Amino acid sequence: MPKQVLPGRSPMSAGVVAALGLALALGVPVSLRAQRPPELKGSLDKLAEQNRIADENDLTRMDGPAVIRRLVKSGYLVSIPRRGRGYYIDRKLGRGYARRDVLWYARPWVRKFLQREGGHYADEFDGARFKVSSLVRTEGYQELLRSRNPNAARGDQDDTRSPHLTGSALDISKKGMSPRRLAWMREHLVTLQAIGWIIATEEMATNTFHVFVQPDFGPPAESVWEAAPAAGKGSAARHSKAARTRAGRSKRVR
């Protein structure tokens, strides 16, 4: 069977992944992207892929605030600090939604993404922070967003539901980012997507980067960067795929 490639991602050799991985580990952008790269273009296939991964991992979708509270109590959702190293949460998050207090949560691997990648961003830009404009959503909040933005995921079918309903996605605002910071963020997300840790889309209508974080995000960095340079050891992409398989067999997430 031919190797499947995630929609929006072109096949990458072990050498290319190794080079990208090394650049990311060192905090050095591979190139300065002034426009949205094709790897970050959105598509229905990409949206369906996020929903497929959510289903494979048994991720509950939030039909209301009570579900969020239950998953927080059981540890399947975690509180996201309003400010952290390299990021902060938009104070307007959930504006107009009666139960906006439940929208400041996400899956543990989203918090890990923010801690790690916020740290990279702060290191690169002298302690600067990027703005997170969305985390987990309920079906009611998604309907509210649809009334404001016709491009918001409609959810008419299972594979077109918003990944935010699973708590495994976040949006990073592009507003206020300098051209250099935008270029760095694009390159960074493309690299993480190539490794297999996220699925990312640069949304032009909302001026945000949408990031779906894989449940197995961020195995020890050195295990990826050390494995990637040696062709005999396989690519980082194959490494991450094997990690996802092991994670899926060992634990199912609710």
The Cα angle at residue 76 between residues 243 and 65, in degrees rounded to 5: 140
pLDDT of residue 105: 97
- Write out residues in the chain with pLDDT < 70, as ranges: 1-34, 149-157, 219-253
pLDDT value at residue 145: 86
Contact 86, 121 (CB under 8 A): yes
Cα-Cα end-to-end distance for the chain: 31
CB 131 within 8 Å of CB 172 = yes
pLDDT tens for 179-205 read 999 999 999 999 999 999 999 999 998
Q: Please give the model's pTM, rounded to 2 decimal places.
A: 0.75
Q: Tell me: the pLDDT tens digits for 13-55?
A: 444 445 455 455 544 444 556 688 999 999 999 999 999 999 9
CA-wise closest residue to 215 among 228, 194, 199: 199
Start-end of H helices in 99-196 = 108-124, 139-148, 179-195
Per DSSP (E only), the strands in 43-134 are: 78-79, 83-84, 87-89, 105-106, 130-134
Produce one character per residue of 134-152: b if its CB has 16 or more CB atoms within 10 Å, e if not: bbbbbbebbebbeeeeeeb
Cα 187 versus chain centre, distance: 14
DSSP-derived secondary structure letter, 85 = T
Helix (H, G, I), strand (E, B) or coil at 65: helix
Domains of the chain, start order: 14-249 (3.30.1380)
What pLDDT score does 156 carry? 58
Q: What is the pLDDT of residue 158?
A: 75
* Distance, CA of 89 to CA of 96 (rounded, Å): 16
Tell me how far apart the alpha carbons of residues 183 and 13 are, in angstroms, rounded to a whole number.
23
Q: Which residues contact 184 (CB under 8 A, 6 or more apart)?
A: 29, 121, 124, 125
